[in-house]
Amino acid sequence: LLRYRQRHYGDRGTLDIWEGLMTRVEGVQLPVSGDTADFFWQSFVELGLKQEVILKELADYAFELWVKTGRRWDRFYESIVGGFLERGLAQQAVEWHKRLRDPHLPCPNDILSVLRPAINSSNPFYATSAIPWKPKRHLIPAGLRAFESICRATHGHKIYSQAISTVLQSDYIDYAPRLHKLLIERGDHPQSYEDIQALIEHTNEYGSSGLIQKLHRYASVRFPDQVEAINEDESDPRGELARQPEDQQSDSRGKAWLEEKPFKDDFGARLFATKALRFEMILSGLRMFGVTTIGPQSLREMAIRAHGCQDIADKLQELQKAGISVGDSVFVRLLNKLATENRDILLSDLLHSDQHPDVLEDAQLQESLLLSYYVARDWRPYNLTLAILGQIFEDKSDLANVHFRKFLAAGEWKMAIQVVDNMVLRGATLSQESIDFIAERVLIPRAPGKPPRRDDIPATKEIKFVSHALRHGTSNGDLAVTELWVEVLKRLGMLNLWDELRKCCLWLARQYSSSSNTTRSIVSYPKKSQRDTGALAQQHGDALLRKVFSRNMQAAIVAWGFRTRVSQQRKWMVSHGDPHESLIPWVRGLVLLRELEKNGVHLSVTWIRRACRHRLAVLYGRHGLVNRRMNRMLRHENPYSVVRVLGDINLAWGEPSLFGDREVRDTKGLVNPPNRTRRRRVKKVRSAYLQGAGYSRMRELYNSSAKRDSHV
């Protein structure tokens, strides 16, 4: 039957089968192994990847099946997380990894199954080159950046050999050193020298000198015997010379003498620090021994003994003429820049800093130092750290993001807004790290279903700041900000800031919609006779709007519209009817939804109707439904009859009628909807399981917060 419905109706047919299984069949258990199971689960997952509400229902069902039977479909995690990655939806992939890892990721090494989809991600948001050991996240493809987040959220994985091998065989071969660094930081090391040998060979051919040194140093510590044996084989030229003709052996010996000799940086530093040796003597010795590279510590000692900026610049030129490279580290670039620009104070601070030159490459450390110096108003080290960050981040927008996060951490929101406005003038946007910083530092945690509470600043101030930063500091279609927008709208609704909520909703619709005056998709109606497969392509709309204005959010907007005391509100007017006919303020949510629909947001009529019935039940239904203080107060102060409210709902909604003619035929049944006990039962079973297994944090991830928010 599923194949038949798919063949004739496509996704609409799959949705019919899913709804039928969930609503008409009690206790159905899908198979979890075999070809039939693969077909069923994969069909529903593919539908869920297009409609996240269905995916959440499918995840709830899979979890309930696991709790009851201890069985699950083995490819559930891979199909969902990998499916999002293949569609270029990196943020959703990370979110669903966190939700599905218990219990659908039995082994931490199973995250390897989504590495290939991450590499093959068809819609990367950023460029495809990576500079190892430099945290420039905007250069990392979105899929691989998501895989990094998945690795950080998974403990105990041992995937080094397979992961590095997979990346080296892909089009993102330059990403392998960065992945190596991430894995070893998490304790995932190569088990043998062969696991890292391919990476070393690639780096020797294409990598920078600093990266080559780091990899060889790591391999020497990890596998000293193998590295020593390889070095002995490579350093013994006798066998190769014996196989050459006699007339070429002398040339080979000469070339071998001219090859680069290893030169330890600490030894070079002691050499340059020796006062008895002049710079010219040291330079001659380096030439004689065939040294072609010196490290940053040697360069620092040389600069300390120099006489001013011009002397340092002259010595750097002499090293260059002698064919001795000083590398391309942050320290070297900054030293050269300060010496050329004659900035004596900063140059002195750099040379006498207690930081090792290699530490200057750590952008996160330098950013934290910048913040501490800024808060302490210690300007000399602040200016030095700012100059270091200027060498780490070649793009000015990256440095602007650093300043934005600095002002946020220091509590200077006005300065942060100025940074955002200046970025807009230059065509720059906030980075993902800055957006995450907003969510972490500005939006304080709140209890599920309850508005935020903070004593330091008004809640309205934080919401206005976040909405301003998101409106001006993010690019159109950036799916990474959708979750933050959802949270902003929730807080506006729960704080009863209706004007701000309406302004943000309409701005989002007008900014991100590719069309306006879009007719409502009839797929949202529950009756099969009203479903039109031809409208399926228009069902989803733009990705961000579909995510923000989900059916749960639309139901919440209806509920928030009812959350107002009538005596304190001005009257609302019908936008498409008689301009002199007033509406009660409780239907303002329906008016807003109709405005959003005109700007390209597709409405879920079923959920809007359900939300209206729930609010009618609070106002006019059985007394047992009214449990919250606000609802009891609204019911007690309600000055309207049910006929008046139903009439204004119809006026605000327009044609076709939201309830059909049921408000005339069965008013009592309309305001007393049946209890929906299945979802409560699933939550109860899930909560009991998670508490028993010790997964208190996972319980929050599985909670349907949007629905609770709509019932406040």
Burial of 584 (0-12, 13-18, 19+ CB in 10 A): buried
Which of 39, 67, 71, 45 is CA-nearest to residue 58? 45
Alpha carbons 536 and 55: distance in angstroms, whole number = 17
Residue 497 token pair: 């800031």
Alpha carbons 684 and 673: distance in angstroms, whole number = 22
pLDDT over 90 (residue 390)? yes
Greater confidence (86 vs 9) lies with: 86
Alpha carbons 170 and 314: distance in angstroms, whole number = 45
CA atoms within 13 A on the CB side of 660: 9
Alpha carbons 339 and 344: distance in angstroms, whole number = 8
Read off the pLDDT of residues 610-668 as tens digits, 9 standing for 90 and up.
999 888 888 887 765 556 777 777 777 777 888 888 888 888 888 888 887 776 777 77
Beta-ladder partners of 583: 572
List, in order, residues 6 or more apart from 518 with CB less than 8 Å away. Answer: 538, 541, 597, 598, 599, 600, 601, 602
Alpha carbons 330 and 316: distance in angstroms, whole number = 15
Q: Which residue has the tokens 């100025």?
A: 418
Burial of 634 (0-12, 13-18, 19+ CB in 10 A): buried
Read off the pLDDT of residues 440-454 as tens digits, 9 standing for 90 and up.
888 877 777 777 776
Read off the pLDDT of residues 75-100 as tens digits, 9 standing for 90 and up.
888 999 989 888 888 888 888 898 88
Q: Where does 410-529 have alpha helices with state H? A: 413-425, 432-441, 459-473, 482-494, 498-512
Q: Where does 322-412 have alpha helices with state H? A: 330-340, 344-351, 363-376, 379-392, 396-409
Does this model's pTM top 0.75?
A: no
Read off the pLDDT of residues 530-553 as tens digits, 9 standing for 90 and up.
333 333 333 333 677 888 999 999
Q: In angstroms, how far is CA 669 from the centroid of its own chain?
A: 45
pLDDT over 50 (residue 574)? no
pLDDT of 489: 92
Alpha carbons 179 and 147: distance in angstroms, whole number = 10
Alpha carbons 127 and 550: distance in angstroms, whole number = 30
**Helices (runs of H) and strands (runs of E) counted in the chain:** 40, 2
Q: Which helix (H) or strand (E) holds 215?
A: helix 209-222
Instruction: Map residue 573 onto helix, strand or coil.
Output: strand
pLDDT over 90 (residue 702)? no
CA atoms within 13 A on the CB side of 284: 5
Alpha carbons 396 and 646: distance in angstroms, whole number = 57
Long-range contacts: 372-380, Cβ < 8 Å, 24+? 374/406, 374/410, 375/410, 380/345, 380/349
Alpha carbons 380 and 95: distance in angstroms, whole number = 42
Alpha carbons 309 and 303: distance in angstroms, whole number = 9
Alpha carbons 533 and 9: distance in angstroms, whole number = 6
Greater confidence (520 vs 341) lies with: 341
Alpha carbons 544 and 697: distance in angstroms, whole number = 27
pLDDT of 676: 56
pLDDT more than 70, % of the chain: 75
Q: What is the largest CA-CA distance in the chain?
A: 111
Burial of 708 (0-12, 13-18, 19+ CB in 10 A): middle
Region of residue 427 (left: phi > 0; alpha: psi -120 to 50; beta: else)? left
Greater confidence (483 vs 344) lies with: 344
Greater confidence (193 vs 710) lies with: 193
Under 8 Å between Cβ of 167 and 142:
no
Residue 404 token pair: 């934005």
Range among 222-231, 312-321, 638-647, 702-711 with highest mean pLDDT value: 312-321
Q: How many residues does the chain have?
A: 712
Residue 226 token pair: 């193998």
Read off the pLDDT of residues 181-210 as tens digits, 9 standing for 90 and up.
889 888 888 888 888 888 888 888 877 777
One-character DSSP codes across 576-615: SS-TT-EE-GGGHHHHHHHHHHHTTPPP-HHHHHHHHHHH
Q: Which helix (H) or strand (E) holds 235?
A: helix 224-235
pLDDT over 90 (residue 73)? no
Phi, psi angle pair for 625, to nearest 5° = -80, -15
Alpha carbons 685 and 682: distance in angstroms, whole number = 5
Taking residues 69-77, report their average pLDDT.
85
- In this structure, of 117-131, 231-245, 299-313, 696-710, the range with the lowest mean pLDDT score is 696-710
Under 8 Å between Cβ of 317 and 288:
no
Mean pLDDT of the chain: 77
Residue 442 token pair: 């500005």
Alpha carbons 386 and 370: distance in angstroms, whole number = 7
Read off the pLDDT of residues 289-302 as tens digits, 9 standing for 90 and up.
788 888 888 889 89
pLDDT over 70 (residue 35)? yes
Which of 227, 239, 318 is CA-nearest to residue 278? 318
- Helices 176-185/193-206 angle, 10° precision: 140
